[in-house]
Structure 1
Amino acid sequence: MHLAQHGLNIEALLAHVPLFNELEKEEIARLARGTREINAARGDILFHKGDTPTGFYLIVYGQVKLAFTSPQGGEKVVNIVPQGQTFAEAVMFTDKPFMVYAQALADSLVLHIAKAAILDELDKDPKLGRKMIAGLSMRLHQLMNDVESYSLDSGRRRIIGYLLRDHPDDDGESITVTLPTNKGVIASRLNLTQEHFSRILHELSEKGLITVEGRKIHIADVKKLRAYDL
């Protein structure tokens, strides 16, 4: 992992982040001065559990896994962060160490936005504070949904929900979903073993509800898949 030398227009990238889209050009310019580029190869660690946060991150391209290791040595994936999204905002404000580690799942370009720059802008502009609170509230809402799903939903229902997560309103349409990373990482994200995950995919294939081709999942009838296991 090393600092990137892409000559990127950091101000333009920051301006397109929903968190910053109400800020003025001068405010964006100040944030850009507190931002550095990180070029992470697949497998690189952006930060370790226990490290002290110095800011938060925006993925320009690539994908990052947030996870921790259990005392037994197993990995639990907390989140798979895609291109265009930010992460580590909440812990940045706590002055406590990271509870997870961040690892690139693909070659990635990441921006690190310094905590000091964010705090300076929060002092100047309450709009940013409102946006950050809204964003963190959405993350908390998703976390509670995850806890509810782990507690109440079957593994089958969790997988179906994951496959249809970007198609909440589709009904009866044929779609193809591309898994963002390998099945083991996704299984951990859904609080399943890889064996259980693969077994359920096989079951859905046997029922004719999906066709699996590597990371591509073809769904012939969204309505039928959504109704299965209800």
Structure 2
Amino acid sequence: MAIQTGKIKVQDFLARLPLFNQMTPQELDQIAAGTTEKHVLRGAMLFQRGDPCVGFHLVIYGQIKLAFISPGGGEKVVEIIGPGHSFGEAVMFMEKPYIVSAQALADTLLLHVTKATVFNEVASNPHFAHKMLAGLSRRMHGLICDVEAYSLRSGTQRVIGYLLEGNAREGGDQCNLQVSKTVIASRLNLTPEHFSRILHDLSESGMISVSGRNVRILDIERLRTYEG
């Protein structure tokens, strides 16, 4: 029996995600039976650091910010999760509390898959276990790349990388800043002032133009090779 939450059919959405897209209808039914829908309003907390992890989340629409508070009281954004992506798998398998907090940056719809559902599927479906491991490996690789970027790349190079990634995603000559400059700065391990200064310098150099959250790339080849 197909499970529907609100206006979406859980199985249809799960089937579009890389983790589940090769499952049979029967297997999707089993996952859907352990899945609930969560609506989180912009600014609301999904969970706090130290809360128990009893499953993982998939974003249908909206954005979730994963962050923690530094010893000095400042917020460090670890990751921004958008539609079609998941989070919480690693902590779920470790059976530890959350080590970050999660907050909605926009009105967000999530699916929450319970730990028991995932563990049962891993035990009975080696292919699912393989795909879950692959997903965790990609997440680990991404974190290693972040550490490398913070250690070896300048602040300007980090901002350029972010802009080029956004441009590749959106196409044309545009890169829309989907979240506030403060959040992006924290994600790139910069202060908001430093981030704004870099955007100003790149604009003054004629490589980009900035209007609010809209960044237009004027000279992409020069931006790609810039060593500042």
Indicate the residue corresponding to 2:159 in structure 1: 159
C-alpha distance in 1, partners of 2:62/2:19? 19
The CA RMSD measured in Å over matched residues stands at 1.7
Partner of 2:68: 68
Deviations 1:172-219 (A, max 9, x none): x96100111000000000000000000000000100110001111000
Distance 1:192 1:220 in 2: 24
- Equivalent residues, number: 224
What is the one-letter code of the residue matched to 2:147?
V
In structure 1, how many angstroms separate the alpha carbons of the residues matched to 2:192 and 2:151? 18
Shift of 1:16: 0.8
Alpha-carbon distance, 1:7 to partner:
3.5
- TM-score normalized by the length of structure 1: 0.94
1:228 aligns to what?
226
% identical aligned pairs: 51
Structure 1 distance, partners of 2:10, 2:224, is 41
1:57 and 2:57 matched:
yes
Q: After superposition, where does 1:134-153 map in structure 2 within 5 Å?
A: 134-153=134-153
1: distance between equivalents of 2:188 and 2:71?
Answer: 19
CA–CA distance in 2 between the matches of 1:71 and 1:6?
A: 41
The equivalent of 1:214 in structure 2 is: 212
- Contact 2:36–2:113 (8 Å) recurs in 1: yes
| Residue segments in structure 2 that go unaligned for 5+ positions in a row | none
After superposition, residues 172-211 of structure 1 pair within 5 angstroms as 175-211=173-209
Asked whether the equivalents of residues 174 and 221 of structure 1 are also in contact (C-alpha less than 8 Å), the reply is: no
Per the TM alignment, residue 5 of structure 1 is displaced from its structure 2 partner at its CA by 5.8
Structure 1 gaps of 5+ residues are none
Are the equivalent residues in 2 in contact too, given 1:62–1:108 (CA < 8 A)?
yes
The one-letter amino acid of 2:194's match is H
1:143 alignment partner AA: L
> What CA deviation, in whole Å up to 9, does each residue of 1:58-79 have, x standing for no partner?
0100000000011221000000
Cα deviations across residues 34-56 of structure 1 (Å, max 9, x unaligned)?
Answer: 00001100011111100110000
- Report if the CA contact (8 A) 1:41-1:106 is conserved: yes
Q: How does 1:15-164 map to 2 (within 5 A)?
A: 15-164=15-164
**Equivalent pair of 1:174/1:222 in contact (CA under 8 Å):** no
What whole-Å deviation, never above 9, does each CA across 1:72-104 have from its counterpart, x for those lacking one? 210000000111111111110001111100000
3-state SS of paired residue (2:96)? coil
